[in-house]
Amino acid sequence: MKSRWCIVAVVLWILTITVLGWFFIKGWTAEGSDGRTEILLGAAERDHILAEMRLLLKAVDGIIRGLGEPQPDLKQMEAAAREVGMHMAADVEPAIMAKLPLPFKQMGMSIHKDMDALADAIAQHETSQQILKRLSSMTARCTACHEMYRFKASE
Q: How far apart (Å, rounded) are the C-alpha atoms in residues 142 and 104? A: 10
Pairing status of strand 149-153 against strand 37-41: parallel
Confidence of residue 33 (pLDDT cuts 50, 70, 90): very high
Question: Is 90 exceeded by the pLDDT of residue 90?
Answer: no
Q: How far apart (Å, rounded) are the C-alpha atoms in residues 91 and 138? A: 21
HSE-up of residue 96 (Cα within 13 Å, Cβ side): 20
The β-bridge partners of 31 are 37
User: Which strand ranges, in their side-by-side order, compose the sheet holding 149-153?
Assistant: 29-31, 37-41, 149-153
Which tops the pLDDT comparison, 38 or 1?
38
pTM, to two decimals: 0.83
Question: Is 80 exceeded by the pLDDT of residue 67?
Answer: yes
Which tops the pLDDT comparison, 21 or 97?
97
Q: What are the chain's domains?
A: 2-153 (1.20.120.10)
Pairing status of strand 29-31 against strand 37-41: antiparallel
